Chain A
Amino acid sequence: EAQVTQNPRYLITVTGKKLTVTCSQNMNHEYMSWYRQDPGLGLRQIYYSMNVEVTDKGDVPEGYKVSRKEKRNFPLILESPSPNQTSLYFCASSLSGDNQPQHFGDGTRLSIL
């Protein structure tokens, strides 16, 4: 089954404790991205990747890092999480990013205390 898999689905952690949210897709998609969804602010792009070893900032990249060492994986790293990063996070992928629908994971709900 074609899917985008995020882990964990839920995480409660404390300020400053490094964490990684993993994202994996099995559709051989070149384009992957991360969004966060916040009440009143909607969905905003954090980072995106056009292909292996090619990443770039979205609208709200501060406090986040990403890497794309393999085509299928695109982890989101919070080196020193802070409470303002409490949010619902989505990973998405598409064949090329241009005129292609994006497939979303089920989301990761992060709470930073």
Chain B
Amino acid sequence: SQQGEEDPQALSIQEGENATMNCSYKTSINNLQWYRQNSGRGLVHLILIRSNEREKHSGRLRVTLDTSKKSSSLLITASRAADTASYFCATVALWGTSYGKLTFGQGTILTVHP
């Protein structure tokens, strides 16, 4: 089942602007991950945040996690046209029968205009 809900479904911005995507989930998690997918290609791992972490940075990416609200956000600063892609959050449940399974949200389509 798809546990993650992402918001917005689509986001269109100009180069240089910041892009913020949000993700909500339903069950207790071990960790939450963000992935990028260019059209028709494989998913590329961006960042992993553990359930006991609140914020993580990687280059122009900043991820926050609020386990009390069961939500996460991905901020891309100073966006570039090359950031145009679909972005997915995925959770790994704290317990369950499927070890290591990523449960994906529906994704946010980000378009960055030059």
Binding site for B on A (CB under 8 A): 4, 31, 33, 35, 41-45, 48, 50, 56-59, 88, 90, 92, 94, 96-107, 109
Contacts and interface: CB of A to CB of B under 8 A. Distances in A.
Given A44-B104, A57-B98, 17 more contacts: A33-B100, A35-B102, A41-B2, A42-B105, A44-B2, A45-B98, A48-B98, A48-B99, A50-B99, A56-B98, A59-B1, A97-B100, A99-B30, A100-B48, A101-B33, A102-B33, A103-B45
The size bracket of the interface on B is: 20 to 34
A59 B97 CA distance: 10
Contacts of A102: 33, 45, 100, 102
B48 A107 contact: no
Contacts, number: 76
27 contacts: A4-B42, A33-B101, A35-B102, A42-B106, A43-B88, A43-B102, A44-B104, A45-B101, A48-B99, A48-B101, A50-B99, A56-B97, A58-B98, A59-B1, A59-B98, A90-B42, A98-B30, A98-B92, A99-B92, A100-B48, A101-B33, A102-B33, A102-B100, A104-B43, A104-B45, A105-B42, A107-B41
Contacts of A104: 35, 42-45
A97 B31 contact: no
A64 B100 CA distance: 19
SS class of chain A's interface: helix, strand, loop or mixed?
A: strand
